Amino acid sequence: MSLLKKNQLDINLALPIFPEVEVTLLDSNPNAKKAKTGLLKLTWAGESDTEEVVFEVALGEYVQQFVQEFKAAKAVAVNEGQVTAGATHAWISNYINKQPISIVATPEMTPVENYFRQLNNVQNIDAPENLMDTYMARSAFEYNPQTLKSVKEEWIAKQLEIKKSEFTEPRTLTLLCGSWNVNGRTPKENLAPWLIPNEHPELPDVYAVGFQELDLSAEAFVFNESNREAMWCAMIEDCINLDKVYTKVKSKQLVGMLLCVYVKTVHIPHIRNVQAVVTGTGIMGMMGNKGGVAIRFRLFDTDLCFVNSHLASDSGRCDRRNQDYQEVVKRTLFTMPNGPPFTIFDHEYVWFFFSPDSFFGLFCLFVALLLTVGGRHSLVFWVGDLNYRIPLPDSEVKSLVKARDYQKLLKYDELTVERNAKHVFVGFEEGPIDFYPTYKFDVGTDTFDSSEKQRTPAWCDRVLWKGAGVKQRTYTGHMVFRTSDHKPVSSLVDFAVQVVQPKRFAEVRQQIVREMDKMENECRPDAVISTNLAKFPDVKFMTRYTQSIVIENSGQVILQFRFIPKLDEKKFCKPWLRINPPVGMIVPGEKATVELMLMVDATTAASLNTGEERLEDILILHLENGKDYFVSITGNFLRTCFCTPLVTLVNTLRPVRDLTQPAAASSSSDRRTKSQPPQPNLIDFGESASTPAAPTSKPEEPKKLHIPKELWRMVDFLFTYGLDEDNLFATSGNEQSMELIRECLDTGLPFETMPDAVHSISECLIRFLEALPDPVIPFVHYQRCLDSNSNYTLCKQVSCCERGFLFFFFFCSRGCYYCVGLTQRFVCWWLLPQVLTQLPSEHYNLFVYLMAFLREVLSHAVTNGLSAEKLALLFSAVLLRPGPDKTRDAASTKKASNFIYHFLLNDEEPQFAS
């Protein structure tokens, strides 16, 4: 038996998958309580005897994915009766020789399928799970002539997409969408009444099943190590008879949300471009108890997207639910090779333009506009616990439900109202609701909530769709299920996919090529650029700015353009700038608009704050077979306290914005009188919260603050107004409010009345700590803190009596951040942790201050719903971070959480094992 180690990555064996091959997962160490590695054995019948190969693998998600993909491929082999006789498998030479893979048409692959597979070949990949609110500041588009498609071929492909109705025919398939909030319960009931439509004997072609609140444990919130996914997938597969009929295309989990998509095995060869993305709308996108999971793929020649979401709960929070929906739409980003990311509803990038002077040009322009309205995905199906409520008295709602007067209730249904106002789910459709509200029931019964809260019944669980050609058969709730406080819902629909007709496809493609050749000649292209200078005045942190450049084809030939990098550079623009589109084609006499999108985020603000970098760049616009044009980019970045080092903040008495502006500027006179000294404009969050507190006497200005004044303002606000706020530090803030808060912190202005002030300031506090160039516990101490996480004495030597001094220190420092140093000197000798004593003073002071504040937060756990475990998980991610360009695995995350946990509850052992 040959044993291949996991570090031997060279392919020396190619095993075709056929009906007789078997796969087995063995335990490499049966005596271990929890095995970390296993043996993956593949067995098949050889020429003379049974042959096998064994791999040593690390147990985890990837092994499960391999086994699932193996079973799926074997199911295809069994279904299609493929054998290995006479097979050469010459394709494997591409791997062995390390050459790029080229797809060669096979007898089973039609010419048109072969063309589209080459055109749209994308691996099964998972998009990054923690994308920022915008993707513009990520790595800029890299110019690679070897991998970038020919603009001409791209143009042909776009023309084919526009004209695909001329060479495709619709085929009707059936889809069942389901959604169930399982309230953290494990599966106990047979899912057949939910997933098998009795009134329609023919099983659906596609299943899209979404769950919410799959796992409510603290570990699942951050580590995403729940085993509930496997249990529920097994329940689905047992119900729909997976081994004989269906193959799982993809399943994806985000904390409590799980989305599973199954397709009949006969359709698997016609699926490609499978991607899955998760988007958490909790604070930092980390506490992903709310958010969405999306799976997309192309079935035949139709792009489908399925979304499962769990929006903000509780009555009276309709605006928060709307914001969660918008966040999922905006931050769910899919990727394609050599192209920009795109969202659920992004339009196709029209990188070509037609002259309206001819019938052909008018036709293409008209169809292109129709395509743009439709977006990249032809069909989007959205399921989930959307949590929209009915804002009527509980007794009135129950009376109308008892009378089955659903139409009157739906007039007040928040989702119906918001859709009609075009605030959310614009363009979506939903079938008629003629079933009981699905929320909230006493667990194990069909009785509406009889607890003290008496939650009003509502249709929280919904199924909607967007796109043409969808016809709903049934839409119902399933009262027979009593495992959860929600009832599951299902929607059975017919939908149309487009199937390519090879002969007609070849004719249309030839027509497109002839039209393009007719427009080309030997002349050099020429263009007129609307401007060679783009100025962005007063750029603020985390704010998006857009300007446009218009390119006009003033020549007689098709103009192909692209932005290219400068000499010895790989990227054609700075990371704070994004260009859309970066390449394109323009017909003579027409124009193209190029958008320049600028945003400074945490990855780029630090160097701009220090002046090491400036908002300046030069773009090179290259015309194929023509000349180059140069476009200058310039902007004025307004300095921010975010991404500023602690040592700078504690040595800065004035607002950071004043450091980059003349003291005598007229704008400064609006904030303070000339007679006042240049001190930080802090406020008293008591009765006069709208105006700064006037000092009775001029205090002696210290040379150095002990904590940043900006952080003190946020903590003091939360201490005054937020300790009893439900879901504190677990609910994301309002974007407009957070922008206003950042401006107040940077300028010294007082906080104003704003929506969701507590949650917005709590997220700003987390973002502030996350954006520090060197975290509160500096990078150099990261590993030592992890090593000491399991040793209580090494982490902290504070007794119960000492904890009282710690609270005394925090309360004394509330009145003014100048007082922090006085109390700090008194209790400093009580706090002598063996790790923290080596920290710089500003880091040490801030750490102690934050721990005192978080302990006070925990003292209100009954009202705010927080626990030491959740706070440790959240704040360890921002206070204790690995170095730049380094990642942290689950084990390190647990160790960091343990370390913080010791300082939150020093009289209890941490509940996370290292």
Walk me through the domains of the chain, giving residue ranges and CATH numbers. 14-94 (no CATH), 165-500 (3.60.10.10), 527-638 (2.60.40.10), 774-800+831-913 (1.10.555.10)
From residue 537, alpha-carbon distances to 136, 529, 580 in Å are: 19, 22, 21
pLDDT at 631 over 90: yes
DSSP secondary structure code for residue 158 in this structure = H
Q: How confident is the model at residue 804 (pLDDT cuts 50, 70, 90)?
A: very low
Report which of residues 143 and 372 the model is more confident about. Answer: 143
Q: How far is CA 434 from the centre of its chain?
A: 34
pLDDT tens-place string over residues 466-510: 998 899 999 999 999 998 999 999 999 999 998 888 888 889 988
Predicted local confidence at residue 712, as pLDDT: 93
Report the pLDDT averaged over residues 783-796: 68
276/294 Cα distance (integer angstroms)? 6
Whether the Cβ atoms of residue 704 and residue 764 lie closer than 8 Å to each other:
no
Q: Is residue 816 pLDDT above 80, yes or no?
A: no
As beta bridge partners, residue 248 has 262
What average pLDDT does this structure show over 146-162?
Answer: 68
Q: Measuring CA to CA, which residue among 519, 114, 171 is closest to residue 353? A: 519
pLDDT above 90 as % of the chain? 35
Q: What is the pLDDT of residue 146?
A: 43
Contacts of 23 (CB under 8 A, 6+ apart): 40, 41, 42, 43, 67, 70, 71
Whether 257 and 214 have beta carbons less than 8 Å apart is answered as yes
Residue 519 has pLDDT above 70, yes or no: no
| Residue 283: per-residue pLDDT | 63
**Over the chain, what is the mean pLDDT?**
75
In angstroms, the CA 732 to CA 290 distance is: 10
Residue holding tokens 């990054």? 128
Q: Which of 26-30, 400-404, 583-587 has the least mean pLDDT?
A: 26-30
Q: What is the DSSP string of 254-309?
A: ETTEEEEEEEEGGGGGGEEEEEEEEEE-SGGGTSTTSEEEEEEEEETTEEEEEEEE
Task: Give the pLDDT confidence score for residue 898 in this predicted structure.
Answer: 86
pLDDT tens-digit readout, 61-71: 556 667 766 77
Q: What angle do CA 742, 746, 749 make, to 5 degrees?
A: 90
Q: How confident is the model over 325-352, as a mean pLDDT?
A: 71
Asked whether the beta carbons of 893 and 876 are under 8 A apart, the reply is yes
Backbone angle region of 516, left / alpha / beta, with phi > 0 → left and psi within -120 to 50 → alpha: alpha
Average of per-residue pLDDT across 541-552:
93
Give per-residue burial for 47-84: e unless 16+ CB within 10 Å, then b: eeeeeebbbebebeeebeeeeeebbbbbbbbebeeeee
**Predicted pLDDT at 803:** 40
Peptide bond into 502 cis (omega under 30): no
Per-residue pLDDT at 518? 72
Higher pLDDT, 334 or 206: 206
Q: pTM for this structure?
A: 0.59
pLDDT above 50 (res 674): no
If pLDDT is split at 50, 70 and 90, which confidence band does 59 have?
low
Mean local confidence (pLDDT), 94-102:
36
Mean pLDDT of all residues in 905-910: 50
**Tokens 């090593």 label which residue?**
787
Name which of 648, 748, 759 is nearest 705 in CA terms.
648
More confident residue, 139 or 794: 794
pLDDT at residue 528, as a whole number: 92
**For residue 690, what pLDDT band results from cuts at 50, 70 and 90?**
very low
Confidence of residue 910 (pLDDT cuts 50, 70, 90): very low
pLDDT beyond 80 at 834: no
Among the listed residues 193, 263, 821, 178, the one whose alpha carbon sits nearest the alpha carbon of residue 475? 178
Most confident segment among 723-737, 756-770, 808-822: 756-770
Q: Report, as an integer, the average pLDDT of 214-242.
A: 73
Residue 162 has pLDDT above 80, yes or no: yes
Q: What is the pLDDT of residue 156?
A: 81
Quick check: 240 and 248 in contact, CB under 8 A? no
Tell me the pLDDT band of 54, cut-offs 50, 70 and 90.
confident
Question: Rounded to an integer, what distance in angstroms lies between the CA atom of residue 676 and that of residue 745?
Answer: 19
Given a cut of 50, whether residue 526 has pLDDT beyond it is: yes
207 vs 262: CA distance, rounded Å: 5
How far is it, in rounded angstroms, from Cα 242 to Cα 238?
A: 7
Task: Yes or no: say if 442 and 478 are a contact pair by the CB < 8 Å rule.
Answer: no
* C-alpha to C-alpha distance for 1 and 14, rounded to whole angstroms: 17
Q: Which residue has the higher pLDDT, 364 or 31?
A: 31
